[in-house]
Structure 1
């Protein structure tokens, strides 16, 4: 038996149950990872609430962890017991041990510790595909990052500045505004005090931005569309404030023949060769100092509900992890 966080019914943080569950050995193509640190992400709250229905209750929550391999299943040749690894896109991470498909696992460079790895892989791979694949950002671009003080937001801000872009970020308090500015943003908007559409138009001389990265969802839509230049791209990659409701597609033509996409990390990580490439890009960015992983909150595994309350209450910045 091992300790884990189990969801027995969809709902709020109160449905997270810390309990003993049976362990299992890895099957063909799988590895068993002893978790040393576990990432907490907004997708975990969507799964807990049932917004995303990857599995019916009961299930062990969590999508990201880092630790050491304890055992490998049949046919696994790339990993061995004792390897330091990190994984994502695998339900069941909120536990002392997790069985993971080997195709979802990456070896950790020696310079990156378990806490930084667990706090950065899902968010960092998200930032990687958003900046390099969904829209290839370069020096000629001006971009808007909604909720730039969050885990993905801070990585996007730092990485986009390294790529030479002009970065505009939004944040929800003076302290978060200062944090985003310290991480390299050219302009930062406190959306609790300022109209972010008007401020973006001021910063861009009325032209608008090339792309807006929006992980907030319902609360910033459709206003995010009004920050875009004609033919600009709206990238919706999260639902922190709720899911965007169905809308009239003619809105896009009325606001400048805009483009909209709703990418998800799982599409990229489902292809091993792309995951390896993304991992190399992310680990290289961390090791070279292009991005700094900010693990700003640590909770014991048993206190996962408190971590969710803090995340959903917008009380966190950077990454939050659980320690088993």
Structure 2
């Protein structure tokens, strides 16, 4: 098969498209003929040699990627034969291997792709979609909601905008540059602003006309967060799920207000990724709970993922585009 391999940590050019052995499924596993593989910001950090939230960096050489969708083309021993030939999507967990024409995973990670959702859209929902719904578990969205969504043209931001609008709420979406703000507006945001414009907070205040935002969905951090926090009114909620403006290194963290400042502003602030999200999702397998919910929302048309497609052979270009914020929606590789 063809796959993208990493032989040494470093820049995107270290990702090489090459031939390698076909993987064989083990007991209770299937092999998937991959039609779409997800690319995550964490993948770019790992490629660079940054461990981030992972327990350890992978052994080299490695095939990056942990989200795949396609057709089951082979079964391992003691595997339910009804999986053969099905269109499936899976998050591989901490095991890499997604940037390839073939990938192996356990059957308990599989989901059938709902009718009407293609492989790229399914990949977007299995990772980005589950995270978006996990974040939304921390707030109740109503017609009275006024949401601030930085990085509103990204994979998670796109879905958050759609969810709030589906519930009848108001959305101010932020993005970098006119092309992205146009995409945010087309996605349904009530106001789309370019965070590169130093006057964006003033434009937001003019739109709000004396109102204040009720929730800030924050995956960015940095100066954008600082300005956005000033738009939250008393009783407002700051949900932190990332800090892309500050990098993904585990030694860094989000811009957080101290307890005294929170009390002065009348705000609630929560970091929602990791264990808090899993506890909130509940059930014996919280990740699977969120994955099922994400696929269901896509099947019912409540959420429609935005996808930025690259050929598998151009994984290095996909990484460079993601790192320099030149992508819209979920980045997906297609063999």
Structures share a fold, TM > 0.5? yes
Cα distance in structure 2, aligned partners of 1:237 and 1:76: 37
What's the RMSD between the two structures over aligned residues? 2.9
1:61: how far off? 0.9
Cα distance in structure 2, aligned partners of 1:270 and 1:62: 26
Partner of 1:100: 105
Q: Which moved more, 1:55-64 or 1:284-293?
A: 284-293
Task: Output the TM-score relative to the length of structure 2.
Answer: 0.83
Partner of 2:310: 299
Partner of 1:311: 322
- Residues 1:256 and 2:256 are matched in the alignment: no
Partner of 2:83: 80
Partner of 1:278: 290
**What does residue range 47-196 of structure 1 map to in structure 2 within 5 Å?**
47-49=46-48, 50-52=50-52, 53=54, 54-58=56-60, 59-74=62-77, 76-77=79-80, 80-90=83-93, 91-131=96-136, 133-196=137-200
CA distance 1:126–1:316, change in 2 (3 Å): same
Q: Deviation digits for residues 67-95 of structure 1, max 9, x if unmatched?
A: 11123345544962111101125332111
CA distance 1:223–1:21, change in 2 (3 Å): farther
| Unaligned stretches of 5+ residues in structure 2 | none
SS in 2 for 1:212: strand
Task: Output the TM-score relative to the length of structure 1.
Answer: 0.85
Cα distance in structure 1, aligned partners of 2:153 and 2:71: 30
Cα distance in structure 1, aligned partners of 2:224 and 2:65: 26
Cα distance in structure 2, aligned partners of 1:12 and 1:238: 22
Q: Which moved more, 1:122-131 or 1:13-22?
A: 13-22
Q: Which moved more, 1:70-79 or 1:152-161?
A: 70-79
Cα distance in structure 2, aligned partners of 1:176 and 1:202: 21
SS in 2 for 1:71: strand
Cα distance in structure 1, aligned partners of 2:65 and 2:309: 15
Cα distance in structure 2, aligned partners of 1:34 and 1:40: 17
**What does residue range 220-235 of structure 1 map to in structure 2 within 5 Å?**
220-235=224-239
Cα distance in structure 2, aligned partners of 1:240 and 1:262: 15
| Unaligned stretches of 5+ residues in structure 1 | none
Cα distance in structure 2, aligned partners of 1:100 and 1:276: 15
Q: Which moved more, 1:23-32 or 1:91-100?
A: 23-32
